[in-house]
Structure formats: structure tokens, C-alpha cells
Amino acid sequence: MVQRSSGNLWYKKSGPSEPANTNVKPAHSSEEQTIASLDTRIIELKNEVTALHDQMLASSEIIEALAEQIRS
């Protein structure tokens, strides 16, 4: 798609230029928003994984303590 678009730039005929549309947001702003949103989600998921890991370790300690009591 980028290649096709760049090819179109080379083959456009010269003529009077159209006035710039100032209401159009740059394409990268939505990309930046998407990236920022994904970065936020990644951080949230990392925090959730850390919390789940901590819970797993705590559960393992409880299971080990219970197993020790049963053996004693």
C-alpha cells in the first residue's frame, strides 16, 4: 500500500495545487494514540501478572506449611 501510494506521487500530473485541508489530523496522531493505549495496556498486564505471581508464591508457601503440618 505504501509502495502504491509512493508510486502515485511520482506519476501525478503537475497542475494547480489544491488548498490544504486544515481539518485533517495527521495520520501519525492516531498511531501515537494507539501505541500509547497499547503501552498502557502492557503496563496493566505486567502489573496483573506480577500480582498473580505474588499470589502463586503465597499459595505455595501455604501449601508447603500445610504439608509440613500433615507430615509432623
Q: Where residue 72 falls among pLDDT bands split at 50, 70, 90?
A: confident
The three three-digit cell numbers of residue 72, written as one number: 509432623
- The chain-wide mean pLDDT, for the chain, equals 80
Res 11: pLDDT: 47
Task: Tell me the H-state helices in the chain.
Answer: 2-11, 27-71
38 vs 3, residue with greater confidence: 38
Q: CA 43, 45, 49, 51: dihedral to nearest 10 degrees?
A: 70
Res 43: pLDDT: 98
How far apart CA 55 and CA 61 sit, in angstroms, is: 10
User: Is the predicted pLDDT of residue 51 greater than 70, yes or no?
Assistant: yes
The three three-digit cell numbers of residue 50, written as one number: 506480577
The mean pLDDT of 18-41, rounded to a whole number, is 80
